[in-house]
Structure 1
Amino acid sequence: MAFFVRRGVAVCAVMVLVAVSGCGESGPTAAEAGETLKNHITELMRKGQVLDVRITDSGGRDISCGEGKAKRTFAAAGRDPASERGGDNLNDLLLGALSRVAPYRIVEDRGDAPIKLANDEYKTILILESPGGGQYAVRGETECLRTS
């Protein structure tokens, strides 16, 4: 009977360790969120009908945040057929297209500055920072997340 008690205690101890190690580890890794970020920005440019899209930051690497966490980045730029459109108008067009890509909430919008948006589920942040003159620009980053 002593064997069964020890075995039961060992099983319970392992179960407790598994349960505790899972605490705070939910959600995507930096690499997973980085792929989502890339997909969201690429799809945003497509849905926004941006022309001549070029990747200005291909991301794909961990940027250390300390404490075993990292973030990823990605950015793209392109042009609008109407070269006279200003940055605010272009950002507004992207904001409208973003509603067809993923649910982001506005974190910061001061009118003449870039628009910062966040998606809490995917742990991604987008910055719509079109400079004007018909030139679109979007960059993004993930939150600081676990690497594995």
Structure 2
Amino acid sequence: MPRSARSFLVRLGITIMVTTLALAACGEREPTAAEAGATLKTHILKLMKEVNAQNIQITDPGGKDIPCGDDKFKRTFAAIGHSAPPYSQPIHMKDEMRGALGRVADYIGIGVPDLSKPAKVADKSANTVLILDASSTGKYLVSGETECLNQS
């Protein structure tokens, strides 16, 4: 192989390697508010399924961009589901939801865990935050919102 061809291939290889490293450093693009909102809805409904919630009712259908400054927007979604009789204690139901989160997505707790209060959890890769709660009448209460993101 002529020297000029080898030199060209070496320069091409270096260019490809530098480009690949630069793209890897950039990571994935941030989702839009609509994309994160769809993920939020999926996560909440999947969590309800994981805890075998019955008669699920959507209490906040979301689907609307909510301005949060700097040309950024967030989306919300919420649902209620009933536990199968006999009703469990709220503290056990909240613990059950926390345990099921690992089968839904990569959520981690925010703040100090206290099962006597609603739990706040976040999935940084999905740009979503959930609030997990339960009532004394056997209802799972899950609401959530996306972080403030670009509209499109």
Tell me: CA distance 1:83–1:57, structure 2 relative to 1, closer, same or farther (3 Å).
Answer: farther
Residue 120 of structure 2: aligned partner: 116
1:63 is matched by which residue type in structure 2?
A: I
Structure 1 equivalent of residue 144 of structure 2: 140
Structure 2 Cα separation of the partners of residues 83 and 64 of structure 1: 42
Contact 2:79 2:143 (8 Å CA) reproduced: yes
Assess if the C-alpha contact under 8 Å between 2:43 and 2:104 holds in 1.
yes
Partner residue, 1:82: 85
- Partners of 1:58 and 1:81 lie apart in 2 by 24
Inter-partner Cα distance in structure 2 for 1:98 and 1:114: 15
* Aligned-partner Cα distance in 1 for 2:54–2:87: 15
TM-score of the pair, normalised by structure 2: 0.77
1:71 and 2:94 correspond: no
Residues 42-80 of structure 1: CA distance to partner in whole angstroms, max 9, x if unpaired? Answer: 111111110111100000001100110010000000111
Runs ≥4 residues deviating over 6 A: none
The alignment's TM-score, normalised by the length of structure 1, stands at: 0.79
Which protein is bigger by CA-based radius of gyration?
2
For structure 2, list consecutive stretches of 5 or more residues without a partner in the other structure: 1-25
- How far apart in 1 are the matches of 2:78 and 2:86? 21
Deviation at 1:105, TM superposition (A): 0.3
- Equivalent residue, structure 1, for 2:29: 26
> Is the CA contact (8 Å cut-off) linking 1:72 and 1:142 kept in structure 2?
yes
Give CA-to-partner distance per residue, 1:125-148, whole Å, 9 cap, x none.
010011222111000000011111
- In the alignment, which of 109, 114, 117 is matched to residue 106 of structure 1? 109
Partner residue in 2 for 1:15:
none
* Offset at residue 83 of structure 1 (A): 4.5
Distance 2:86 2:67 in 1: 38
Q: Percent identity, please.
A: 46
Q: Deviations over 1:90-135 (max 9, x none)?
A: 1111111111111100003333110000000010001001122211
Q: Specify the alignment match of 1:35 in structure 2.
A: 38
CA RMSD, 1 decimal: 2.0
Residue among 109, 124, 129 paired with 1:125: 129
After TM superposition, the structure 1 stretch with the greater mean CA deviation from structure 2, 104-113 or 46-55, is 104-113
Which residue does the alignment assign to 1:58?
A: 61
Aligned residues: 127
